[in-house]
Structure 1
Amino acid sequence: MDASFVIKDIRASVHTISIQIPLLSEKIAGFGREEQTEFVFCEVETAAGVTGIGMTGQFLPHAVVETLHTHILPLVRGMDVRDVEAVHSRVWWKLNARAMTGVISSALSCLDIAMWDIHGKGVDRTIAGLLGGARKNVPAYCTFGFPQYDLDLLAEAAKLHVANGFKGLKLVVAVDKGGWREDARRVRKVRDAVGDDIDIMIDANYLFNPVQAKQLCRAIEDCNITWFEEPLHQNDARAMHDLRRSTRIPIAGGQNEGHRWRLRELVEKHAVDILQPNCCFNGGYTETRKAAHLAQAYNLPIANGGGWPLFNMHTMAGLMNGWYVEWHLGIVSIGEAFFKDAPVPVNGEITLSDKPGLGLTVDYDAVRSTRVKP
């Protein structure tokens, strides 16, 4: 067995960061919402000293680190990173035979992304290339519409990002004290600011009940919304199907689902028009590829929700039905801090580097300075 591909060690740690949002004078703790203050950085090292990296988000990050160190490493040490089905099978049947999600899915995401990174470095191919190499460039939309903006600043920020080349913009909804009516005013403000040729998406992050979501849809149907992301509590597939039937606005979801069976439910119940597997939460590229192929069988596109564009851009570039990457300003700040050579969108498109694996060079000074002490 080639030592360059044999798992020797896993190192994971929790980090935190504060971000600067355009047009706001003060930094915001975390990277988007109040609960988004910590995330996990992971390295997998092989017997030959080759290192791959992975990351996941804010959901119980300390438990994710403990899972990687205490439970996953003893299972996978000595295995070949290219044998992704064997690694997943061992983790599933030893640690997750009942197909739970959450911590185990996030931990497996870190491991899997790092394994693909190592594999790509070993064969001098990008992860997008290993996934299928469908394209070199992927469109990016900018998630900018944070609740900290008032209406006028929201419109000004929208114009700023369009001037910077973005052709798609996303707003957060369902968090304003004014409820869906205020959300409708904010959506209209952005549409009036940017005109008819810019894609506008909205994201409720599971926070509406079906009545509220229908009321918002009814109020903004003439605004030509590209998609309404995760509108309902618990990603309730039955209720999302009902909402989808009642509106002309396309429904998107799946970014935080932990495995293919939850994503399959959204597809089979006709709950979504766009499926959103996110490799940083659902088990990595191995599971995301299966979700993308499932979507292909139903003629559905996949798009990135849930952020982490520097990882998910490989999914969207590698797979035939890949579409938009989410340039989430908060999570992008993490990428800018952690990686010396992270690509940036130009005229609304990201061109993937030819560097192997993830194509990212870690800034270890940033890793050390942002680490949360255990």
Structure 2
Amino acid sequence: MKITRIETTRLKSLPNLLWVEVHTDDGQIGLGETFRGSEAVEAYIHSLSAGMLLGKDPLQIERHSKAMLRGYLGFNGSGVETRAASALDIALWDIFGQAVNQPLYQLLGGLAHDSMRAYNTCAGGNFNTGGEQRRIVSKGDTQVTGRYDDQVAFVECPDELAQSLIEEGFSAMKIWPFDSFALQTGGQYISSVDIKKGLEPFEKIRKAVGDRIEVMCEFHSLWNTTTALAIARELKDYNIFWSEDPIKMDSVGALADYRRHAGIPVCGSETLATRSAFRDLLAADAVDYVMLDLSWCGGISEAKKIATMAEAYQKPIAPHDCTGPVVLMASLHLGLSSPNAIFQEVVRAYLAGFYQELVTTLPNVQNGFLLPPTGSGLGTQLNPALKQKADAVVRVSAL
């Protein structure tokens, strides 16, 4: 078997997403995906990555992973080189699964969990991606159509939002009400008045549903350590499950200091790439939960190493997805096969909306848990209709 063709697809209406399909001479097509800077990643794949893979055996995944991830440049970050390598690695694993007619979780060691607990990231339908977005309606309204706008809801009606998630079977949710205040000051300062405003959604959630749902707080690395700690001192009274990326993830010492003083468990970080970055966080005891994004950290090959390393430090993992459906499927396979996986992030607005237009199969969510995918490889394919869209950009490199 050898790789004969590498094809990329992106939509101008979803400018952050890029899909890559790796074709083999025996008819297999592996699917991968990455997110952000899609045009730059597309250019890198066709100018450099394709030359590294065309004519090669797609099943020599570890060899290809090393070649793509450990090059002269880009090996120590989550830039274009790593995002290209991540998407291609996912596609190669998809080919492997199809070649042996097994789901990816089986190739990664088999099921360590019969299902994977999900938490809902409270984003709206166009968060990070573009596209239409509609409001979530209040509890009891039977005219629910279109996409959820959970991001507006967690500010305007967080109590109703929490109740609606519980009714769908979710036992955890993630919100980020402090971000707007960080944008006002560059993350250097927050007033006591604004801290109280940021705490209001947590207070309303706890009053409405008590501890029936876990609540995570996302900070998007917007704050300096001093200010992040000022927020944490007040936030910890609300039984927060984790504080995610409270500061920029480029200072292990600062993050370790935050963890020691915050009184809230720390989760980090979807923004990091390759095992070396996570090794440093774990060695410094700077995190309680390890979050990784398979389309940014190096693909399935690197993610499996990171998950195993986290397990050695007795830290749980929770794969990230606020990006695309292919990464969600790949992350689910990783989580199901990793003993220390405790959550898979989902965005119900995406699952109920535009994700359905992009791929042939999405994860089966039942009562807040994701079931193992069926079929070989990833268990999903790119929707053939995407390439026929007026705003589709398709590029091909071939032997």
Separation of aligned partners in 2, 1:10 and 1:72: 9
Note if 1:12 corresponds to 2:8. yes
- SS for the counterpart of 1:176 is helix
Between 1:148-157 and 1:240-249, the stretch displaced more is 148-157
Query: Which residue does 1:33 correspond to in 2?
Result: none
Note if 1:354 corresponds to 2:331. no
Separation of aligned partners in 1, 2:158 and 2:202: 10
Separation of aligned partners in 2, 1:234 and 1:297: 21
Between 1:234-243 and 1:38-47, the stretch displaced more is 234-243
Query: Which residue does 2:190 correspond to in 1?
Result: none
How far is the alpha carbon of 1:242 from its aligned partner? 0.7
Separation of aligned partners in 2, 1:41 and 1:228: 31
Match of 2:346 among 310, 315, 327: 327
Deviation string 1:320-342 (CA, Å, 9 cap, x unpaired) is 21120001245544432212321
Query: Which residue does 1:107 correspond to in 2?
Result: 84
Separation of aligned partners in 2, 1:334 and 1:291: 30
Matches within 5 A, 1:233-252: 233-252=248-267
How far is the alpha carbon of 1:120 from its aligned partner? 0.5
Cα pair distance change 1:298/1:94, threshold 3 Å: closer
- SS for the counterpart of 1:56 is strand
Cα pair distance change 1:369/1:137, threshold 3 Å: same
- SS for the counterpart of 2:381 is coil
How far is the alpha carbon of 1:176 from its aligned partner? 2.2
Separation of aligned partners in 2, 1:156 and 1:41: 36
How far is the alpha carbon of 1:197 from its aligned partner? 2.3
Separation of aligned partners in 2, 1:64 and 1:330: 26
Query: Which residue does 1:24 correspond to in 2?
Result: none
Match of 1:364 among 375, 379, 384: 384
Deviation string 1:65-91 (CA, Å, 9 cap, x unpaired) is 111111001111122222122112222
Cα pair distance change 1:205/1:79, threshold 3 Å: same
Contact 1:138 1:323 in 2 (8 A): yes
Separation of aligned partners in 1, 2:375 and 2:393: 32
Query: Which residue does 2:332 correspond to in 1?
Result: 313
Q: What amino acid does structure 2 have at the position aligned with 1:86?
A: R
Query: Which residue does 1:284 correspond to in 2?
Result: 299
Cα pair distance change 1:291/1:197, threshold 3 Å: same
Separation of aligned partners in 2, 1:325 and 1:197: 19
- SS for the counterpart of 1:267 is helix
Contact 1:235 1:253 in 2 (8 A): no
Runs of 4 or more consecutive aligned structure 1 residues displaced over 6 Å after TM superposition: none
Query: Which residue does 1:155 correspond to in 2?
Result: 159
Note if 1:124 corresponds to 2:139. no
Contact 1:8 1:47 in 2 (8 A): yes
Q: What amino acid does structure 2 have at the position aligned with 1:273?
A: D
Query: Which residue does 1:218 correspond to in 2?
Result: 233
Contact 1:280 1:311 in 2 (8 A): no
Query: Which residue does 1:54 correspond to in 2?
Result: 32
Contiguous gaps of at least 5 residues in structure 1: 18-29, 31-36
Match of 1:144 among 122, 129, 135: 122
Cα pair distance change 1:164/1:109, threshold 3 Å: same
Deviation string 1:169-216 (CA, Å, 9 cap, x unpaired) is 111243224754322112222222332121111111111211221122
Separation of aligned partners in 2, 1:248 and 1:368: 52
Match of 1:343 among 346, 349, 363: 363
- SS for the counterpart of 2:376 is coil
Cα pair distance change 1:97/1:68, threshold 3 Å: closer
Cα pair distance change 1:150/1:118, threshold 3 Å: closer
Deviation string 1:139-179 (CA, Å, 9 cap, x unpaired) is 00001165533644232222111111101111124322475
- Pairs aligned (count): 351
Provide the TM-score with structure 2 as the length reference: 0.82
What CA RMSD, in Å, does the superposition of the two structures yield over aligned residues? 2.2
Query: Which residue does 1:23 correspond to in 2?
Result: none
Q: What amino acid does structure 2 have at the position aligned with 1:15?
A: L
Note if 1:167 corresponds to 2:171. yes
Separation of aligned partners in 2, 1:225 and 1:249: 7
Separation of aligned partners in 2, 1:353 and 1:285: 16
Contact 2:5 2:24 in 1 (8 A): yes
Contact 1:310 1:335 in 2 (8 A): no
Separation of aligned partners in 2, 1:234 and 1:300: 18
Contact 1:151 1:189 in 2 (8 A): no
Note if 1:41 corresponds to 2:19. yes
- SS for the counterpart of 2:180 is coil
Q: What amino acid does structure 1 have at the position aligned with 2:162?
A: A
